[in-house]
């Protein structure tokens, strides 16, 4: 990893090229055949639906839901199976094409919008009861104030925002060490972290556009961006498992991964925030 100064547009373009290639790999690696069972939901949505249940009086049925950074749509379509009217937003055309193909195969209704998440309010028609994002999303964004403004603009009054993502503290750890050691910045300074990696987080496929850019965002930045956009925080949680293997030392627990037993109470793996637009 190199710390670099780069403008948003070239960094975003490099990331889009990388994610365009990932789409085909993930179609192969995500186990999409499981969705042929009409009761099947993604593991991510099963966890998130449980976290949201106390805040949705009638569940997802009949809700207008906007899923930001939806990728190939497995979580979006899982929300549709729970009864929501869904709109998936992503900057990758191949990812949205894969999402649309999956929706067609499963006979599920969904709207797909190609746009940068930081321009979502201008690109997406209508407003929503729930704006949803989960998981592995906001490190790809430079400006969280602009992100939060999009969310507030998409929500109708009384609407709910939900995010579960990797905890910024876990992202600051050295994933290759045999113990918990800090390696990467927890606090951002506006510069990007540049990575060169031909692999992806699932499957064995590789990409040719290996260069990507991410930005560290401390938990305070996430919360304050949402507050600054006029949202009211009603719940925040931190979790001990991740839905992908961040480090080779993490061990499987169901469909998730966790640190070795002696370290599980030392560092959070995820955070969850639920906010309301009054």
List the chain pLDDT tens, one digit each, 278 residues. 889 999 999 999 999 999 999 999 989 888 899 999 999 999 999 999 999 999 999 999 999 999 999 999 999 999 999 999 999 999 999 999 999 999 999 999 999 999 999 999 999 999 999 999 999 999 999 999 999 999 999 999 999 999 999 999 999 999 999 999 999 999 999 999 999 989 888 878 898 999 999 999 999 999 999 999 999 999 999 999 999 999 999 999 998 999 999 999 999 999 999 999 99
How much is the pLDDT for 29?
A: 85
Cα separation, 139 vs 159, in Å, equals 24
How much is the pLDDT for 61?
A: 96
Q: Which residue has the tokens 């931190």?
A: 238
pTM: 0.96
How much is the pLDDT for 202?
A: 82
65: which 2 tokens?
């839901």
Phi, psi of 60 (to 5 degrees): -90, -10
Q: Residue 126 half-sphere exposure, CB side, CA atoms within 13 Å?
A: 14
CB atoms within 10 A of CB 79: 27
Contact 78, 47 (CB under 8 A): no
Residues 199-223 as b/e (b if ≥16 CB within 10 A, e otherwise) read ebebeeeebebeebbbbbbebebbb
Q: Which residue has the tokens 């600054």?
A: 228
Cis peptide before 22 (omega within 30 of 0): no
End-to-end CA distance of the chain: 41
Superfamily of domain 2-277: Vaccinia Virus protein VP39 (3.40.50.150)
Cα separation, 144 vs 98, in Å, equals 28
22: which 2 tokens?
């990932």
CB atoms within 10 A of CB 49: 18
How much is the pLDDT for 71?
A: 97
């Amino acid at each position: 990893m190199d710390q670099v100064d780069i403008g948003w547009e070239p960094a975003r373009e490099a990331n889009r090229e990388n994610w365009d290639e990932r789409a085909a790999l993930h179609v192969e690696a995500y186990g999409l055949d499981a969705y042929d069972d009409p009761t099947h939901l993604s593991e991510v949505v099963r966890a998130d639906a449980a976290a949201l249940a106390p805040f949705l009086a009638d569940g997802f049925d009949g809700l207008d839901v906007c899923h930001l950074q939806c990728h190939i749509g497995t979580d979006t379509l899982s929300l549709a199976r729970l009864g929501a009217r869904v709109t998936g937003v992503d900057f990758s055309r191949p990812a949205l094409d894969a999402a649309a193909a999956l929706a067609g195969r499963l006979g599920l209704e969904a709207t797909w919008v190609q746009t940068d998440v930081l321009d979502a309010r201008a690109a997406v028609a209508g407003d929503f009861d729930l704006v949803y994002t989960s998981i592995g999303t906001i490190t790809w964004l430079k400006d969280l104030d602009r992100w939060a403004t999009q969310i507030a603009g998409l929500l109708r009054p009384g609407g709910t925002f939900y995010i579960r993502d990797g905890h910024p503290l876990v992202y600051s750890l050295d994933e290759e060490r045999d113990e918990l050691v800090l390696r990467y910045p927890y606090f951002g300074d506006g510069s990007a972290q540049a990575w060169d990696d031909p692999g992806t987080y699932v499957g064995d496929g590789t990409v040719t556009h290996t260069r990507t850019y991410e930005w560290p965002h401390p938990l305070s930045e996430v919360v304050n961006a949402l507050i600054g956009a006029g949202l009211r925080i009603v719940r925040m949680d931190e979790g001990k498992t991740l839905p992908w293997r961040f480090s080779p030392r993490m061990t499987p627990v169901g469909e998730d991964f966790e640190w070795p037993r002696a370290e599980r109470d030392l560092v959070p793996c995820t955070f969850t925030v639920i906010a309301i637009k009054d």
